[in-house]
Amino acid sequence: MANPTAAMLVIGDEILSGRTRDSNMHFLAGELTKNGIDLKQVRVVSDDRVAIIDAARALSDTHDVVFTSGGIGPTHDDITADCIAAAFDAPIDVRDDARKILEDHYQKSGHRLNAARLRMARIPDGATLIDNPVSRAPGFTISNVHVMAGVPQVFQAMVASVLPTLTGGAPLMSQSLQVFRGEGDIAETLSQFAERYADLSIGCYPFQKDGAFGANIVIRGQDGTRVDAAMTELARALAL
């Protein structure tokens, strides 16, 4: 049986402008792989209402689960919650359970729950809250879309809250082999090998180190024994 599929929607002008380097995709991909969920697509869109709505609908329709990051903070350009609500034709407003979380948090920290901070309690109708043990402002899940913060520490905590609620498949096993030979020298062997092991994913990733060219060959699959056998045969075929 095929593993469930996932997509990620990264939201924010700061990502597309190069001001902020996104690390959430790397983290999410690793966590999903460990849980037997295949990340099939990642889209990055600007803080644009139509772009967010269109992307959310498209990814939701074509994947089992979708994760978003960014745009659920207290400032004027944090429009993700409203856009996801619109994508599912759901009304959105301040919700009592989310408000209570923020009230308790800011009371303990000695800060005022002002109008800007209260924006983070706006939740679409029918959504469930995602726990945020770091800064308390919750994310939310509506349909198959999990809406999370963009700050890496918070995003990671929210992913940890969501993963136990998802049904995964078989974790992906992988092994890698480093060879100091050019891709052109090993391409024919790899092509024949890939045909023989069509049930496995075989990737070749070139690198340059200390002036020498080489490639990392990565074999991935759900059957660890099969991956072991393939890697042993590949090393022999490349005379290593």
Q: Return averaged pLDDT per consecutive 10 residues of the chain, 240 residues in all.
A: 93 96 96 95 98 98 98 95 98 97 94 94 98 96 98 97 94 91 91 92 91 92 92 86
- 154 & 191 share domain: no
Q: Residue 75's pLDDT is what?
A: 94
Longest dimension (CA), the chain: 68
Contact between 223 and 171 under an 8 Å Cβ cutoff? The reply is no
User: Are residues 86 and 188 located together in one domain of the fold?
Assistant: no
> Are 18 and 79 members of one domain?
yes
Indicate whether 191 and 119 sit together in one domain: no
Query: Is the same domain home to 138 and 198?
Result: no
- Tell me, yes or no, whether 123 and 38 share the same domain: yes
What is residue 239's predicted lDDT score, i.e. its pLDDT?
Answer: 75
CA 40 – CA 133 distance, rounded (Å): 28
Residue ending a domain, among 124, 142, 165, is 165
CB 66 within 8 A of CB 56: yes
The CATH code of the domain that includes 38 is 3.40.980.10
What pLDDT is recorded for position 240? 56
Domain hosting residue 221, numbered range: 173-237
Q: Which of 113, 139, 165 is the last residue of a domain?
A: 165
Q: Taking the model in full, what pTM does it have?
A: 0.86
Residue type, 179: V
- Backbone torsions φ then ψ of 119, nearest 5 degrees: -60, -30
Beta bridge partners of 173: 221
From 137, 165, 193, the end of a domain falls on 165
Instruction: For residues 101 and 150, state if they share a domain.
Output: yes
Q: Measure Cα distances from 137 to 33, 47, 69, 93 in Å.
A: 27, 20, 14, 15
Same domain, 48 and 139: yes
Q: Within 10 A of 45 (CB to CB), how many other CB atoms are there?
A: 23
Residues 41 and 131 in one domain: yes
- Same structural domain for residues 151 and 40? yes
Q: What pLDDT sits at residue 125?
A: 97
Q: What CATH code is carried by the domain that includes residue 231?
A: 3.30.70.600
Which of 153, 151, 160, 129 lies closest to 35, judged by CA?
160
Q: Does 184 lie in the same domain as 95?
A: no
37 and 155, same domain (yes or no): yes
- Specify the number of domains making up the chain: 2
